[in-house]
A and B are shown apart, each in its own frame.
Chain A
Amino acid sequence: MSERRRDLPGGQKWRRPHPLVELTRSRLLEFLREPEAVFWVFIFPVLLALALGIAFRSKPVDTLRVAVRTGVPAEARISAMLRGSAGLTVVELPADEADRALRTGKVDVVVEGVSVAAGANGEPLAVNYRYDTTRAEGRAARLAADDALQRALGRPDLLSARDERVALPGNRYIDFLIPGLVGLNLMGSGMWGLGFAVVQARVRKLLKRFAATPMRRSHYLLSFMLSRLVGLVLEVAVVVGFGWLLFGVAVHGSLLDLAVVSLLGALTFAGLGLLVAARPRTIEGVSGWMNLVQLPMWLFSGTFFSYERFPAAVQPAIRVLPLTALNDALRAVINDGTPLAANWPALLVMALWGGISFAVALRLFRWQ
C-alpha cells in the first residue's frame, strides 16, 4: 500500500482511513439511518414468527367430532354408544346438515345407521362412515368412532395399552419454522438490502462518481459483503433469541456452527444480491429481478413447510437452491445439533452460489 500518512501544518499526522473500512462504515450508517430498512430486517421477521408461532402452536388434540345422522335406523342407539366414549364429541344432524358440517370441517366423520338383517349376535345393525379420507382428523375420527361402537357392542380388548403423551421441544411447528425464518431473513435482507442500495447509487450517479476515483471496484463490492456480516449477527440473534425466549426453541448444535452457517448464508445472498443489482438502471427494474429470483425460494425452499411435499422428480432442483441449502444447514444446527462437517453438501451449494455470483457480479457490474 502506498504512503498513508501526511504531515499537517501543525505537525500532527493525518492518517488516511482505509477505503474498505470507510465504505463498509458508510453502508452501515446509511442502513441504520433508514427506519424502513430496520423494520423489514429486524421487526418484520419477529412479527412473522410471533403470528405463525401462535397460529400453529402445539396444543393437546381436541376431541374428535362425530355427527350421527338422524332419520336412519338405530340413530338413538348409535348416539348413546358413541357418547360413552371420552374422546368423542357427538352431535345429531339430518343428512344435508351432516354433509355440510363435514364439508366445512365442523365434524370429522358422519356415522349413519343402515338397516340390515339380524347378525350373528342378533344385532340388526350396520353403519356407514362418511369422511374425507385425505384428512388425518377424518381418519382418526373414523377409527375412534368404530372402536367406540365395537367396544360398546362387546368386542374385548386383547392387548393392554397405555398412552404416553410426547411433546418434545424440537418437533413442534415453531421449531421447524424458526430456522426457516432465519434463512428467509438472511435471503431477504441480503438481496433487497444490497440490491436497492446499489441501484439507488447507480440512479443517483454515485457509482459513476466513485468510478472517477482511484477506489478499487472490488473494495466497493466487498464493502457490501462486509456490511452484511455486521447486519447478520443482529438479524440472526433477533430471530433465534426471540424463538428461544417466547417459544423455547433451543439451539441444539454449537453457536459457533450457527455462526458459520449464518455467515456463509449471508455471504451467499450478498453475492446473489450484487449479481441481480449488477445491471439494472432503475429501482423498478431491480425489484422485478429480485422477485423473480426470490419467489422460487419462497415457495420451494422449505421455509414454512417441508419441501419433501413436492414430487420426488423436482427434489434435486429444490436442493440446489441456495435458500434450501441454508435452511437445511440451519435446521441441522438448530434442531438436530448435527456437526457442521455432516452438512458439507449444503455448505458447498451455498459457497458455490455466493462465490460464482460475486465473481460474475464484479465482471458485469455497470458503473454508470
Chain B
Amino acid sequence: MMKTQPRTNTLASGGDTTPMAVRCTGLVKRYEDLVAVAGIDLGVQPGECFGLLGPNGAGKTTTVEILEGLTAPDEGSVEVLGYRWGTGHDHNLRERLGVQLQETQLAEKLTVGETLRLFASFFSRARPVEEVIRTVGLEDKRQARVGKLSGGQKQRLALACALVSDPELLFLDEPTTGLDPQARLNVWEVVEAFVEGGGTVLLTTHYMEEAERLCDRVAIMDHGTILSMDRPAALVASLGAEQIVQFEVHGDLDPAALGRLPGVGNVAGKQGSFRLGVRRMGEMMPALLSELERRGLVLESLTTHQATLEDVFVQLTGRALRDE
C-alpha cells in the first residue's frame, strides 16, 4: 500500500497554507493523585496516520480525549484542523471529526441500522447509512440488535459511527483491543481504506503490530510523556540492530564481555538473562557460543527475532509493552 510521506516532523506550520490536522504543545493533565499527561507536544499532518503507542495507563486516552475536545487540559494548547477548542468553532469542528472512544457501549436494544441513522442525524454532511454499512462490511447485520453482535462487529459498528460524518480527521482509541486476529484485520482494512481516501487518522494502541502496519509515524508514550516519535522503521533502526537475541545462562556473565562480541549493537540484562541487539547474526552467534563454552556456562534458552517497535519500547523503558 502506498503511503504519503509526512512532510515534516516539526510543530511549526508557518508558511504552510493548510493547517496541521492536529497540533498540541505543552499538554498537561493532572488528576487528584496522578499526572496523566506530563507535557506532550505533537503534530499530525493532513493525510497522515499517526499512532500513540504505549502500555495501559501511559496517558494515551487522556491525550486523545483532550485533542477531541472532551477533556480540558490543565496546561498547554491544542489546535485541531486549525481551530482551538472553546473558541466558538466547536460545533463546526465536530462536524469534521470522526471519533471512536475506548469502551463506548452503544445502545444494545437498537439495531445496527437504527444506531447509524441516529449518528447520521447529528451531522449535516452525513454519509448515507447504507454506504457506511458497506464500508465496514456489516451489510448482513443491518437488522441485528447491537447487543447480539460479536466484539469485532461491535467495533466495526463503532468505526461506522465515526465514519458516518464523512470526517477529515478520525480519532481511534484502541480500535482493536480485545479482538481476535481476523476481526483486527477487518478493522485495519477499514482504517487503511480511509487513509488511502485522503483522510487523517490519530489512533492509540498498545499493539506494536498495529502501529507498524497502520501508522506513518508513531509516538511512543509512557507515564504521560512521549519518549520517542518517528516513522516505525526509523524507530526500529534507532535500535542499531536488526535482530534481537534473548538468552539465559546458568552462572555469572559480565555484560561488558558480551558487548565486545562481534556484530553486537547493544546489551541489556542482568543475572543470567540477557538481551542483545545484533547487527550481524552470522558473526555474533558462533562468537557467543564459544564465549559461553570458554567460561563453562550452560545455555538454558535462546530465542531470536526481527527487531520491532516492541523492542524499541523495551529499550526506552526497560519494560515489555504487553505485560502491563
A22 at interface, CB cutoff 8 A: yes
Residues of A contacting B68 with CB < 8 Å?
Answer: 212
Residues of A contacting B107 with CB < 8 Å?
Answer: 26, 30, 201, 206
Residues facing A in B56-113 (CB within 8 A) are: 68-70, 91-92, 94-95, 97, 99, 101, 103-107, 109-110
Residues facing B in A201-220 (CB within 8 A) are: 201, 204-206, 208-215
Given A16-B124, A214-B91, A214-B95: A22 touches B117 (CB 8 Å cut-off): yes
User: Contact at A22–B109, with CB atoms within 8 Å?
Assistant: no
User: Contact at B109–A16, with CB atoms within 8 Å?
Assistant: no
Interface centre among B109, B118, B127 (most CB of A within 10 A): B118
Residues of B contacting A30 with CB < 8 Å?
Answer: 107, 109-110
Residues of A contacting B123 with CB < 8 Å?
Answer: 16, 213-214
Candidates B99, B101, B106, B128; contact of A6 at CB < 8 Å: B128
Residues of A contacting B121 with CB < 8 Å?
Answer: 16-19, 21-23
Given A26-B114, A213-B99: A205 touches B120 (CB 8 Å cut-off): no
User: Contact at B109–A29, with CB atoms within 8 Å?
Assistant: yes
Residues facing A in B114-156 (CB within 8 A) are: 114, 117-128, 131, 145
Interface centre among B68, B121, B124 (most CB of A within 10 A): B121
B165 at interface, CB cutoff 8 A: yes
User: Contact at A26–B118, with CB atoms within 8 Å?
Assistant: yes
Residues of B contacting A208 with CB < 8 Å?
Answer: 70, 101, 104
CB distance from B242 to the nearest CB of A (A): 42
**Complex formed: what's the CA distance from A214 to B90 in Å?**
8
**Complex formed: what's the CA distance from A26 to B69 in Å?**
26
User: Contact at B117–A213, with CB atoms within 8 Å?
Assistant: no
Q: Mark A250-264, 1 if CB is under 8 A from B, else 0.
A: 000000000000000
Candidates A3, A22, A201, A209; contact of B101 at CB < 8 Å: A209
- Which of chain B's residues has its CB closest to A215's CB? B122
Given A26-B114, A29-B114: A212 touches B105 (CB 8 Å cut-off): no
Given A22-B117, A212-B70, A213-B119: A205 touches B124 (CB 8 Å cut-off): no
Residues of A contacting B95 with CB < 8 Å?
Answer: 214
Bin the interface of chain B by size: 20 to 34
User: Contact at A26–B70, with CB atoms within 8 Å?
Assistant: no
A2 at interface, CB cutoff 8 A: yes
**Complex formed: what's the CA distance from A6 to B68 in Å?**
26
Residues of A contacting B99 with CB < 8 Å?
Answer: 209, 212-213
Q: Mark A25-46, 1 if CB is under 8 A from B, else 0.
A: 1100110011000000000000
**Complex formed: what's the CA distance from A316 to B110 in Å?**
45
**Complex formed: what's the CA distance from A18 to B117 in Å?**
10
Count CB-based A-B contacts (< 8 Å).
89
Residues of A contacting B106 with CB < 8 Å?
Answer: 204, 206, 209
Q: Mark A1-20, 1 if CB is under 8 A from B, else 0.
A: 11110101000001011110
Residues of B contacting A212 with CB < 8 Å?
Answer: 68-70, 94, 97, 99, 101
A368 at interface, CB cutoff 8 A: yes
**Complex formed: what's the CA distance from A205 to B119 in Å?**
15
Candidates A4, A21, A206; contact of B124 at CB < 8 Å: A4
**Complex formed: what's the CA distance from A215 to B114 in Å?**
16
- Which of chain B's residues has its CB closest to A33's CB? B109
**Complex formed: what's the CA distance from A227 to B145 in Å?**
21
**Complex formed: what's the CA distance from A208 to B127 in Å?**
22
Residues of A contacting B92 with CB < 8 Å?
Answer: 214
**Complex formed: what's the CA distance from A293 to B69 in Å?**
34
User: Contact at B110–A214, with CB atoms within 8 Å?
Assistant: no
Interface centre among A18, A19, A213, A368 (most CB of B within 10 A): A213
CB distance from B24 to the nearest CB of A (A): 17
User: Contact at B120–A206, with CB atoms within 8 Å?
Assistant: no
- Which of chain B's residues has its CB closest to A8's CB? B128
Residues of A contacting B101 with CB < 8 Å?
Answer: 205, 208-209, 212
Candidates A16, A209, A211; contact of B120 at CB < 8 Å: A16
- Which of chain B's residues has its CB closest to A30's CB? B109
**Complex formed: what's the CA distance from A17 to B113 in Å?**
13
CB distance from A155 to the nearest CB of B (A): 75
User: Contact at B117–A209, with CB atoms within 8 Å?
Assistant: no
**Complex formed: what's the CA distance from A212 to B68 in Å?**
7
User: Contact at B122–A214, with CB atoms within 8 Å?
Assistant: yes
Residues of B contacting A205 with CB < 8 Å?
Answer: 101, 103-105
Q: Mark B155-196, 1 if CB is under 8 A from A, else 0.
A: 000000100010000000000000000000000000000000
CB distance from B105 to the nearest CB of A (A): 4
CB distance from A46 to the nearest CB of B (A): 24
Interface residues of A (CB under 8 A from B): 1-4, 6, 8, 14, 16-19, 21-23, 25-26, 29-30, 33-34, 201, 204-206, 208-215, 368
User: What are 28 A-B contacts defined by CB distance under 8 Å?
Assistant: A2-B124, A3-B124, A6-B125, A14-B126, A16-B123, A16-B126, A17-B117, A17-B121, A18-B121, A25-B114, A26-B114, A29-B109, A29-B110, A30-B110, A204-B105, A204-B106, A205-B101, A206-B105, A206-B106, A208-B70, A208-B101, A209-B101, A212-B69, A212-B101, A213-B94, A214-B91, A214-B122, A215-B122
Interface residues of B (CB under 8 A from A): 68-70, 91-92, 94-95, 97, 99, 101, 103-107, 109-110, 114, 117-128, 131, 145, 161, 165
A-B pairs, 7 with minimum CB distance: A204-B105, A22-B121, A2-B124, A214-B94, A14-B128, A33-B109, A212-B99
